[in-house]
Amino acid sequence: MSELQKFKIVNKIEGISYLILLFVAMPLKYYFGYPIATKIVGMIHGLLVFAFIYQIIEAKKEAGFSIQETIKYFILSLIPFGSFYTDKELAAKLQAATSSQRS
């Protein structure tokens, strides 16, 4: 599995964990009084952020992302639903890489 494929997977999982943190754990904490929700989901999301950062660095090395692309993908990870935009771009990059390898 290429680093680009791994980055695509980690990006998607990290993005989903961010949405769970924002739209499930935070309401559970602030509206329903369950602070443990943000502690658990926040810890999981934090670990996934570290995995995301590691994987974006590895994918940059292998796929040759520019600094601008790398920064764009990082900023998109901070925006809710931004990881889905990144996922779409990565799918196109993977398709292009796959078709160029077949030729």
> What is the distance, to the nearest Å, from the Cα of residue 56 to the centroid of all Cα atoms in its chain?
9
Domain count, the chain: 1
pTM above 0.85, yes or no: yes
Quick check: is 101 in a domain? no
pLDDT in tens, 39-75: 999 999 999 999 999 999 999 999 889 999 999 999 9
Q: Which domain holds residue 14?
A: 3-96
- Using DSSP, state whether 2 is helix, strand or coil: coil
Quick check: is 11 in a domain? yes
Quick check: is 103 in a domain? no
Report whether pLDDT(103) > 70: no
Tell me the C-alpha distance between 28 and 84, whole Å: 24
Tell me the C-alpha distance between 29 and 35, whole Å: 4
Quick check: is 32 in a domain? yes
Tell me the C-alpha distance between 37 and 34, whole Å: 6
Q: Are 11 and 73 in contact (CB under 8 A)?
A: yes
Quick check: is 49 in a domain? yes
Quick check: is 102 in a domain? no
